[in-house]
Amino acid sequence: MQLKKTQQGPRNIRRQLAVATCSLLAGASHASSLIASGDNWKIDSALLIYAEKDRVSLAEGILNIRKEIDDDEFINARIVTDVLTGSSPNGAVPSSTAQTFTNPSGNSTYTEAANTTPLNHTFKDLRNALSVDWDTPLNRNLRGTLGGNISREYDYLSTGISASLAQDINQRNTTLSIGFSLNKDTWDPVGGVPAGFAVMPAFPGKKTISGSNTDKTVQEILLGVTQVINRRTLMQANYSRGQSDGYLTDPYKILSVLENDGSGNLRGTNPYIYENRPDQRTYQSLYWKGVHQFPNENVLNVSYRYFWDDWGIQSHTVDLRYRFDFDGGHYLQPHLRYYQQGAADFYRQTLIDGEETTLSYASADYRLGEFVTQTIGLKYGFEFKNGAEINFRAEMITQKGKDRSADAVGILQNQQLFPDNEAYLLQGGLSLDSDMVIKYIMRLFK
């Protein structure tokens, strides 16, 4: 981090004193806030290109602006736009013959070739999101943050608020924090909200719907402690708990229904039905992060999360970033991530004819299955002497899952039921102060 040194006045004297004391706060730290000093706006931007092999592609742009509005009081605004296109697994299993599905709208069909994972090829969306946070000191050792967010997609609207408090104790070596968020989301799916286990009718039939739109609420609470271990080491530990209520099903995902003779063949009539999930989910996680700087100035940033919920999902996530600093402001940062997930209790890759009348819930969404995600990446960054930074990163993400042996009956034993995935991620980022932008524009018009 480069600190500005050109501005004068009481506010800046106080700020320089703050730099000297280097006060610490969990989450939005004082130290990072100091960049947005004086009358300048700190501008961060990034563009992400994400592409899955033969599936979804996404371009996502972010603009983040941070401004100090009063002494040590900040407003942070973030605008995000992403464009998504491509194909997504619809939940059905591969078959030895071509399969034809009715689009969610009910107005057309799409066909998947034999022995391939059925994908919904009509996946297309544009998402715009805005979030604003107000971060302010409440007293010498207590900070508060209030936030709001709204996100709009073609078929989805999400609105939410959040609040958090961070109390410094132990000569500001320890920060205790508590956070709360509430989200209210509305689904307006194409073709309406399918009734649970509704049949996907052959075109031009219409599926049974429970309404044209539906909603859910998500509440989360987080308790955390951040501790300075020594001059080079910092640790954080969080416990969080969340609850989702309402429509938690994916309105576009289906299940294949097989004959009950053990052959693995799709049943003769109505072989596809829409999934159905519980309307409540409680989830919890324990999260630990450590940051350490070695004598050669390289920095290790490592975290571990254990997540569990009442749907039966448990997961372990290890994330490791190691930053190598070089002369002249250059740095390289390899990134490794390992994620291992167990399946939800109601995860099924297929159903047997009649089970839809005895089971309460079932979903073939691969995200509820048993799988491992591995990420390997490398980031390059360059810090300019004026505090600006430019960076690029490239990553590869692989997802490999398990076929449920109970679902791989008959001829399905020759098929791969879990849709393994491979994705590539490219990102470019630029961070600077508003006065740098103004100087550059002035230079253009001179």
Partner 1 sequence: MSMIKTFLFSAFISLVLSACSLEPVQPWDRDLLAQQKMQLVADPLEIYLDEHTYFSKEGSSGGQSVGGGGCGCN
Q: Tell the residue number behind the tokens 């004297």, with chain if given.
A: 13
Minimum Å gap between C-beta 228 and partner 1 is 5
Burial zone of 417 (CB within 10 Å; 0-12 exposed, 13-18 middle, 19+ buried):
buried
* Binding to partner 1, residues 171-200 (CB under 8 A): 171-174, 179-181, 183, 185, 187
**Binders in 105-124 for partner 1, by CB under 8 A:** none
Distance in Å, CB of 154 to partner 1, minimum = 8
> Would you count residue 398 as binding partner 1 (CB under 8 A)?
no
Q: Which of 67, 121, 323, 402 binds partner 1 (CB under 8 A)?
A: 323
Out of 12, 158, 213, 415, the only residue in the binding site for partner 1 (CB under 8 A) is: 158
155 binds partner 1 (CB under 8 A): yes
Q: Does 24 bind partner 1 (CB under 8 A)?
A: yes
Residue 202 or 425 having the CB closest to partner 1: 425
Q: Candidates 13, 14, 32, 360: give the one binding partner 1 (CB under 8 A).
A: 32
271/381 with CB nearer partner 1:
381
CA–CA separation, 29 vs 67, rounded Å?
Answer: 14
Specify burial of residue 60 (Cβ count, 10 A radius: 0-12, 13-18, 19+).
middle
Q: What share of the chain is helix, strand, coil (3-state, %, to 5)?
A: 10, 55, 35
Quick one: 265 or 284, whose CB is closer to partner 1? 284
- Strand residue runs (E) in 362-418: 371-383, 389-401
Smallest distance, Å, CB 129 to partner 1?
A: 6
Quick one: CA dihedral 90, 92, 97, 99, positive or negative? negative
Cβ nearer to partner 1, comparing 176 with 202: 176
Pairing label, strands 254-258, 350-352: parallel
Radius of gyration over alpha carbons of the chain, in Å?
25
H or E segment to which residue 439 belongs: helix 434-445
Q: Which of 238, 256, 276, 349 binds partner 1 (CB under 8 A)?
A: 238
Segment interacting with partner 1, rule: CB under 8 A, options 111-119, 257-265, 348-356, 418-426: 418-426
The residue written with tokens 């299955």 in the block is 369
For residue 406, the SS3 value is: coil
Question: SS3 of 444, please?
Answer: helix
Q: Which is nearer to partner 1, 155 or 435 (CB)?
A: 155
CB of 381 to partner 1, least distance (A): 9
**Does residue 204 have a cis bond before it (omega within 30 degrees)?**
yes
Site for partner 1 in 274-303 (CB under 8 A): 283, 285-289, 291, 293, 299, 301, 303
Nearer to partner 1, 127 or 404 (CB): 127
What token pair was written down for 280? Answer: 């409540």
Which two tokens mark 269? 């009539």
Residues 344-363 close enough to bind partner 1 by CB under 8 A: 344
